[in-house]
Amino acid sequence: MGIEIKTVGIIGAGQMGSGIAHVCSLAGLDVRMNDRDPERLKNGLATVNGNLQRQVSKGAITESQRRDAIEHIIAVDTFDDFGPCDLVIEAATEDEVIKRSIFSALCPSLRPETMVATNTSSISITRLAASTDRPERFIGIHFMNPVPVMQLVELIRGIATEDPTYESAKAFVRRLGKIVTVSEDFPAFIVNRILLPMINEAIYTLYEGVGSVDSIDTAMRLGANHPMGPLQLADFIGLDTCLSIMQVLYEGLADSKYRPCPLLVKYVEAGWLGRKTKRGFYDYR
Ligand code: CAA
């Protein structure tokens, strides 16, 4: 048996961190959210409130559920404020060096029994676990974007993850009303192993002049019943995140079929990262 998760720490107040804070608080868990950038932390809390409000206006939740949820979230400035947490979830930038430095700074602030998870979408759980002082209580909990809407959460055990950690993580995800799938610890796990090569191929399709942005997205929306076209989805995920995942696949599986499209590389180099910078395959300005 694992521990029951009642208080959750979240590192990173971007679209994933704020989405995770949203669903945890709505499930009645106490949430402590941190970001090294105070402005992003403020924006993250505003995003949670805005998305809860949207759910109220759609009739998905009541006004009193929204208020309760907001009361369950507090913004914290330092990792020492994670002391009461049963679980801390890292949802920072998809960069291994950044994540590793967060874990080394985080662990000394935690109680020995606190579990640590990463929301990485591609990086080895075993390798990240090795940068903590508790690989047996470390696990991958990979949420999908937008977190309040998407049903799935992937769980990924590292080589050292113990059964009680896995059981606690599974119970936690179920408490959020999400469906669990389990993936082995291979580059990009299941969803992104399949989704990102498809997005990369859509970018190659644009790069080689096979079709316009509109033709490619319309083709996949109406021809394959995808809710969003692959280029629109790439902008939604963030082109920097898409590139990082393709690089992990390319390096980790050593197969040229995962080579990131040069156009994707160029967009990221230009700082055109999709919706978050208001420019990607579409213009959001
Ligand atoms: N918070 C709360 N509710 C939200 C929301 C948010 N952030 N975003 C959308 N919604 C709700 C809307 O209020 C709406 O609710 P109702 O059904 O009650 O009306 C519903 O979701 C649908 O939203 P919209 O009507 O605004 O727009 P839509 O029908 O185009 O759906 C979408 C939007 C859910 C994002 C849909 O386009 C979609 O499913 N897109 C694909 C998303 C996807 O593939 N995500 C996975 C990305 S990969 C990933 O996350 C892994 C990774 O590591 C990179």
Q: Mind listing the pLDDT tens digit for each residue in 173-202?
A: 999 999 999 999 999 999 999 999 999 999
Residue 284, in any domain of the structure: no
Residue 1, in any domain of the structure: no
**ipTM tops 0.90:** yes
157 and 33, same domain (yes or no):
yes
pLDDT at res. 27: 98
Nearest to 202 by CA among 261, 277, 253, 268: 261
Centre of ligand 1 to C-alpha 264, Å, is: 23
Q: Which CATH number characterizes residue 231's domain?
A: 1.10.1040.10
Tokens representing residue 240 in the block: 């920097």
196 and 55, same domain (yes or no):
no
pLDDT at res. 5: 97
42 and 149, same domain (yes or no):
yes
What is the domain range of residue 260?
A: 192-277
Rounded to 5 degrees, φ, ψ at 11 are -105, 115
146 and 272, same domain (yes or no):
no
Q: What rounded mean pLDDT belongs to the chain? A: 97
Nearest to 18 by CA among 38, 37, 46, 53: 46
169 and 201, same domain (yes or no):
no
The predicted model scores a pTM of: 0.95
Centre of ligand 1 to C-alpha 23, Å, is: 14
Residue 12, in any domain of the structure: yes
CB 51 less than 6 A from any atom of ligand 1: yes
171 and 253, same domain (yes or no):
no
268 and 233, same domain (yes or no):
yes
Q: Which CATH number characterizes residue 179's domain?
A: 3.40.50.720
pLDDT tens digits for the chain (285 residues)?
788 999 999 999 999 999 999 999 999 999 999 999 999 999 999 999 999 999 999 999 999 999 999 999 999 999 999 999 999 999 999 999 999 999 999 999 999 999 999 999 999 999 999 999 999 999 999 999 999 999 999 999 999 999 999 999 999 999 999 999 999 999 999 999 999 999 999 999 999 999 999 999 999 999 999 999 999 999 999 999 999 999 999 999 999 999 999 999 999 999 999 999 999 999 999
Q: Which of 183, 211, 246 is the last residue of a domain?
A: 183
pLDDT at res. 1: 73
Centre of ligand 1 to C-alpha 117, Å, is: 24
121 and 259, same domain (yes or no):
no
Residue 283, in any domain of the structure: no
177 and 268, same domain (yes or no):
no
Which residues are part of the catalytic machinery?
Answer: 121, 142, 154, 192
pLDDT at res. 2: 82
162 and 209, same domain (yes or no):
no
105 and 230, same domain (yes or no):
no
CB 198 less than 6 A from any atom of ligand 1: no
CB 49 less than 6 A from any atom of ligand 1: no
178 and 204, same domain (yes or no):
no
User: 63-84 pLDDT, tens per residue?
Assistant: 999 999 999 999 999 999 999 9
